[in-house]
Amino acid sequence: MVLYAGRHLHLLRTTSGWEYAHRPQARGIVAVLALTDDRRVLLTEQYRPPVRARVIELPAGLAGDIPLMEDEPLVTAARRELREETGYTAREFIKLMSGPSSAGMSTEIITLFQATGLTKVGEGGGDGSENIRVHAIPVRELRAWCREREEEGLLVDFKIHAALQLAVETAGGRRLWQ
């Protein structure tokens, strides 16, 4: 049953008493491990009110939350979010995995894509309500770079590391993530 219907988030309870959060508008969430030809990973930095901190994340967003685009395929949403947030388009999208972000407390399932063949076509920064800074970090330096951001008080999303672990070799056969 719905305990409270917020505008963007609902709080629900199962008959056995388990409470959890649910986003009613979204069909899914997508996140993108975008790898440039010179072996950099595109990351976003933005303030996240729930954790009261700037957070380093993969470009990501909701699928199906735009009126008249409720049936938007996940890969289309991934392409749109990558473009909106980073200003890059990609030639190839590969689905890496779908999984829950916090299976004990929300219905959120995130689908992770790897994008390659990138071209910069705009500035990125988000859809206007967002205030996103974009970073292009060499894969080899990513871990140290994330640790430095943490030392500065920023938070780093786990999915960055998960995506690197899951990244697959591209047709060229180079292990892009090492």
User: What is the C-alpha to C-alpha distance for residues 5 and 165, in angstroms, rounded to an integer?
Assistant: 37
Candidate segments 35-43, 49-57, 114-122, 131-139, binder of its own copies by CB under 8 A: 49-57
Residue closest to 3 by CA, chosen among 112, 28, 100, 11: 11
Size of the site for its own copies (CB under 8 A): 52
Q: Which of 123, 153, 158, 173 binds its own copies (CB under 8 A)?
A: 158
Q: Site residues for its own copies, window 7-36 (CB under 8 A)?
A: 7-9, 11, 13-14, 16-23
Asked if 164 is part of the footprint of its own copies (rule: CB under 8 A), the reply reads yes
Kindly state the tokens that stand for 78: 């991934």
Residue ranges binding its own copies (CB under 8 A): 3-4, 6-9, 11, 13-14, 16-23, 48-51, 53, 55, 57, 97-110, 112, 143, 150, 155-162, 164-166
